[in-house]
Chains A and B, each alone.
Chain A
Amino acid sequence: MIRREGLMKNFVYIVIAVIGLLVFIGGVYKLYQVGVNQESENAKKTLELIMAKVEALPEGSTNLFSFQGFSKKDWYLVGWNEADAGKPEKCLRSCLCLCKGASVGACDSREGFCRAANLFVNVSSSYLHSTPEAIEEEIASSSGGRGVKTIEVIVVQSVGCVKIPSNLFELNVSKSKTQIDISRANLKDVDPWGEHALCSIIR
């Protein structure tokens, strides 16, 4: 009898311990998942907000809108049109996508979000890029003649996507009867790593 009571007591404690442990493990897992997914959630919201602003913009007008970036540094806004080859499978017609990573595969992954657009979509960004350029010039030496000198030249480059920063950014949106143009100009800072250039992999 005593042994049975002891077993019963232990059984209750074991059940409580197992439930507690499961809740704890579940909580930790959920915490990890949500922490990781927070970025995706923000990306989705940002894309929806961009689409909402585009839709709210009257035909034939242009405007500058501010959007809140999010923390990771490798999210890209890209646009595809119906006739484009090699577009993501998610994008059936014209669409606007926000993807983690500069590849079509990234847009097709769980961390890629696309929204269909009824008009032709054109996304672009221009940025400053430093590039070495060789110039031929007179060299002051005993032998005289001409030599080649390399200098860093800052050029404006334009690519077919927008890299999302970690803080506030502006998009210039213009809408016509047939087309939506979304562009970002960052002509203040030189992009030393050519991060924007990764856009060319997608588009």
Chain B
Amino acid sequence: MKMQYIRGELSSVQIITLVLTIAGLAIILIFLGLLYADDGQQDRELCKLSVLTRATAPMTFQALVPLKCATEKICITGKGECPQFAGEKNVRKVRLRGDDLVQRKLIEETMANAMYDCWNVMGRGKLNIFGTASDYYGVGSGNPTCVVCSRVAFNAINKNISSIVDIDAYLQSANVPGTQRTYVNIFQGESGVQTFAAVEKLNKENGFTLPVDENIKLQASPDGGQVAFVFSQVKVSDTSAALAHFGVAAAGATFAIPGAAKVGSALFLRNPVSLGAGLALGGLAAGGVAYNNWQSKQAAAGYCGELTTSAGDDKENMKNGCSVVQGVLYNVQDINMLCPGSIQGNP
């Protein structure tokens, strides 16, 4: 039987092409809509999308791609609001309930997740996020540039709990939600580099000094008792010395790259800065906890090696870099030591 065509009727090929094109356009529009959405819609996924967009954009246009990453505000409280976030919007409250062990787990889990989310959203340190953007913003590529992923504030925390919280141990033993791998395991990536031993060895033999926040003053200011999880990245031609850019200096420590962590490997560094002091400030404000109990109980995740960037970028010196996620006290001294370049993203 002969098929009859009506004049002007579209063929099946044309219809399929049309449908695919419309679907493609819709996807592009949704993508653009998400990327340039209003503040209310900014979330982790949006941040991740903007990170990927920037990392894969041609170097020339990198600076024009905004990082839609807003700092998450987390208030861990035994009672009431966190005064540190007075006047600020979109604060996520984590209310401590139950016995000491339950509360301890909640604090450790919240902080471990904040660190993991930061690491994950920023492409696990392997993406060239700042690239030419750091030059565009006038800070040069030699200085670490940062994104403050989250700020965690503490209020009215029981001193018994503050003395037993050990985020470092939690990262080693607990699994990331929805996976069968521990936080440390994921931070180490495919390299599987176990740097604990290396750091320990370094500590004893090569003069790696654990930071001691001797100068922390007790203060009852609204800015006290706050820790920020900060992602920082530096572009360097020689990655072997790159981690020295980060600083661990933030707490006045000397730093060297662990022997096991070769170029291209992920690291898990133990005790680079004292996160606990921030908790202690919150704790102190709430009930006089000695911050010594909190010292040196945190970790940082890092990656050094070739960073993924857009195709066609053949500038060798722009390919290598180091990325670190770590928790530091949210104050000018510590944050700016870690981020002498600039801070990007939304406050």
**Which residues 80-95 in B have Cβ within 8 Å of A in the complex?**
86-89
Interface membership of B336, Cβ < 8 A? yes
B28 touches A34 (CB 8 A): no
Number of interchain pairs (Cβ within 8 Å):
113
Q: How far is the CA of A45 from the CA of B87 in the complex (A)?
A: 12
B148 touches A23 (CB 8 A): no
B335 touches A168 (CB 8 A): yes
Most chain-A CB neighbours within 10 Å: which of B18, B65, B332? B332
B25 touches A20 (CB 8 A): yes
Interface membership of B178, Cβ < 8 A? no
Interface membership of B244, Cβ < 8 A? no
Interface membership of A66, Cβ < 8 A? yes
The smallest beta-carbon distance between A134 and chain B, in angstroms, is 35
B32 touches A30 (CB 8 A): yes
Interface membership of A135, Cβ < 8 A? no
Interface membership of B344, Cβ < 8 A? yes
Interface membership of B284, Cβ < 8 A? no
Looking across the interface, which residue of chain A has its beta carbon closest to that of B11?
A: A9
Contacting B223 at CB < 8 Å: which of A32, A56, A66, A72? A66
A167-B341, A169-B332 known; A35-B87 Cβ under 8 A:
no
Q: How far is the CA of A170 from the CA of B224 in the complex (A)?
A: 13
Which A residues are in CB contact (< 8 Å) with B148?
68
Interface membership of B189, Cβ < 8 A? no
Which A residues are in CB contact (< 8 Å) with B10?
8, 12
Which A residues are in CB contact (< 8 Å) with B25?
19-20, 23
Which B residues are in CB contact (< 8 Å) with A67?
347
Which B residues are in CB contact (< 8 Å) with A31?
61, 64-65
Please give the number of chain A residues whose Cβ is less than 8 angstroms from any Cβ of chain B in the complex: 44
**Which residues 24-71 in A have Cβ within 8 Å of B in the complex?**
27, 30-32, 34-36, 38, 41-42, 45-46, 49, 52-53, 55-57, 63-71
The smallest beta-carbon distance between B31 and chain A, in angstroms, is 9
Q: How far is the CA of A36 from the CA of B65 in the complex (A)?
A: 9
Interface membership of B173, Cβ < 8 A? no
Most chain-A CB neighbours within 10 Å: which of B10, B21, B61, B71? B21
Looking across the interface, which residue of chain A has its beta carbon closest to that of B335?
A: A168
A49 touches B18 (CB 8 A): no
Contacting B138 at CB < 8 Å: which of A8, A38, A73, A170? A73
Interface membership of A176, Cβ < 8 A? no
Contacting A170 at CB < 8 Å: which of B36, B88, B332, B347? B332
Interface membership of A1, Cβ < 8 A? yes
Which B residues are in CB contact (< 8 Å) with A46?
347
The smallest beta-carbon distance between B254 and chain A, in angstroms, is 22
**Which residues 220-255 in B have Cβ within 8 Å of A in the complex?**
221-223
Q: How far is the CA of A116 from the CA of B313 in the complex (A)?
A: 48
Q: How far is the CA of A23 from the CA of B66 in the complex (A)?
A: 19
Which A residues are in CB contact (< 8 Å) with B332?
66, 168-170
Q: How far is the CA of A45 from the CA of B332 in the complex (A)?
A: 19
A42 touches B18 (CB 8 A): no
List 16 A-B residue pairs with CB atoms under 8 Å apart, sorted by A's residue number. A4-B7, A19-B25, A23-B29, A30-B36, A31-B65, A35-B64, A42-B347, A52-B89, A63-B222, A66-B330, A66-B331, A66-B332, A68-B148, A69-B343, A71-B344, A167-B341
Q: Enumerate chain A interface residues (CB-CB to B < 8 A).
A: 1, 4-5, 8-9, 12, 16, 19-20, 23, 27, 30-32, 34-36, 38, 41-42, 45-46, 49, 52-53, 55-57, 63-73, 166-170
The 4 closest A-B pairs by CB, nearest first: A52-B87, A35-B64, A71-B137, A166-B342
Apart from A27-B32, A71-B138, A166-B139: 7 A-B pairs, beta carbons within 8 A? A1-B7, A42-B347, A68-B71, A70-B344, A166-B341, A167-B336, A168-B339
